[in-house]
Amino acid sequence: MHNGSHRPGAKALRYIDLFCGIGGFRQAMENLARDFGIASQCVFSSDIDKHCRASYAANFGDTPAGDITQVNEQEVPKHDLLLAGFPCQPFSIIGQRRGFDDTRGTLFFDIARILKAQKPRAFVLENVRLLVGHNKGQTLQRILETIHELGYEHQYRVLNALDFGLPQKRQRVFIVGYQPGVQFNWPEAGAAMKPLAELLEREVDRKYYASDHIRNRRYSQIEPQKELLMWHENKSGQVCARPWCHALRAGASYNYLLVNGERRLTPREMFRLQGFPDSYRIVSKDWTARKQAGNSVPVPVVQAVIRAVCEAHGWMGPDQIKSISRNARVRL
């Protein structure tokens, strides 16, 4: 059993962390415990990537289970809240309107079978924005139909990390499920964006600087400027400069994001752009850490969504709720 942080004498909110990666959801839960006193206990986590499991263990003291497809849903501990940033796969029998059975062969099926067996009170799922339109919307529709079949009400919404304090344009779809009768409201966006200058390191190793050839190609499109900007090159080779970062991507080219057209981001900067505190230990090599950051959830966004779920279920007292309304800005 995996132990999380909780107040002495308080009944801890029990949750599981599926496809946990490096622990973006777990970090959000720990932030909520710190900022709003939401007692919580992680009772199970899982990820297939050994490097992610090592990072998770180094930071949270728990080593996640491996491949979730090999985990018996009956052996997953009882929990109140299921959290999962699951990969999106095309459904094998999409369009047959067979509900739960339509999801077999996809990783969403592993979430569905755990929901069916353990019946948590609520769940929060995260995925790429393109899920909304995937297969002309049929993939998302099948997911929502399955959630309804399992007895949950649900809402989904695309949220942007830019609206929750991070200087990163990262749009993700969130699906929140809860038992009938719960009044769930999405968190309000509009937190002041943290300036890039506060997240970037002042001095970095020369290895992060792009070659003269790469930099000259950038400068042929945009002149160097005094203002601190992130330069982004898209797949067609066009370059734009913004006071915020385009979405970190695990599989992108090495030089698609350059600070002022000159250098790549360091792993620490990438983790900061996803909302991880500097106390988070980066234990992987640069390439692996870059991939981990690109695959992670933006912590302040999931923190705001989970906070709203906790409020809807009465998992936080009125004092904490008043504190939330006074402090709309998420701490980074």
Same structural domain for residues 176 and 224? no
> Does a structural domain hold residue 193?
no
Same structural domain for residues 235 and 169? no
- In terms of Cβ atoms closer than 10 Å to its own Cβ (0-12, 13-18, 19+), residue 184 is middle
Same structural domain for residues 122 and 233? no
Same structural domain for residues 60 and 85? yes
Same structural domain for residues 144 and 225? no
Number of structural domains in the chain: 2
Q: Which residues contact 70 (CB under 8 A, 6 or more apart)?
A: none
Same structural domain for residues 74 and 128? yes
Hey, which residues does 209 pair with through a beta bridge? 263
Helices 24-36, 299-313: inter-axial angle, 10-degree rounding: 60
Same structural domain for residues 229 and 148? no
> Does a structural domain hold residue 239?
yes
Per-residue pLDDT of the chain in tens (332 residues, 90 and over written 9): 344 443 334 578 999 999 999 999 999 999 999 998 898 999 999 999 999 999 999 999 999 999 999 999 999 999 999 999 988 665 444 445 554 455 555 788 899 999 999 999 999 999 988 888 877 888 888 899 999 999 999 999 999 999 999 999 999 999 999 999 999 999 998 889 999 999 999 999 999 999 999 999 999 998 877 889 999 998 888 999 999 999 998 876 778 899 999 999 999 999 999 999 999 999 999 999 999 999 999 999 999 999 999 999 998 754 444 443 333 333 34
Where does the chain have alpha helices with state H? 24-36, 50-60, 107-118, 138-149, 212-219, 267-273, 286-295, 299-313, 318-326
CATH of the domain at 61: 3.40.50.150
Same structural domain for residues 60 and 154? yes
Same structural domain for residues 110 and 226? no
Name residue, tokens 């945009």: 222
> Does a structural domain hold residue 276?
no
Q: What is the pLDDT of residue 96?
A: 52
d(CA 87, CA 145): 18
Residue ending a domain, choose from 222, 246, 265 = 265
Same structural domain for residues 183 and 210? no
Is residue 27 within 8 A of residue 299, CB to CB? The reply is yes
Domain span holding position 148: 13-187+295-326
Residue numbers annotated as active site: 88
Same structural domain for residues 37 and 178? yes
